Amino acid sequence: MQIAKVRGTVVSTYKEPTLAGTKFLLLQLIDANGQLLPEYEVAADTVGAGIEEWVLVSRGSGSRQVRDAEHRPIDAAVVAIIDTVTIGREMLYSKNGTY
């Protein structure tokens, strides 16, 4: 899994029929120091994440282990909204902004 920040949404009127009702998010990947990387990825949202939230994204076959996704052509899925990230004793991120 990788930590990423939700930067936006991706809307598609025409898509594979099994993807009907799937919300897609544009994610910017984050490194181990909490810095935004220049890499972006589109992922299916399975948890209702919002813009600017930090999330965990699962890729490959792991992304199809979420409910109702095993027969969908999904290569990346947001599987969690992050509350906090701590490295050692240092708080790297807190959803409520206190660290």
* pTM score: 0.86
In a domain, 66, yes or no: yes
The encoded tokens of residue 88 equal 């050692």
Q: How far apart are CA 87 and CA 27, in angstroms?
A: 22
In a domain, 85, yes or no: yes
| CATH for 67 | 2.40.50.220
The 3-state DSSP class for residue 32 equals coil
Structural domain of residue 42, as residue ranges? 2-94
What tens digit of pLDDT does each residue of 28-62 get? 999 999 999 999 999 999 899 999 999 999 986 55
Number of structural domains the chain divides into: 1
The encoded tokens of residue 63 equal 């992304």
What tens digit of pLDDT does each residue of 64-81 get? 555 565 567 788 999 999
The encoded tokens of residue 5 equal 């920040």
Going by the DSSP 8-state scheme, the letter that residue 48 receives in this structure is -
In a domain, 17, yes or no: yes
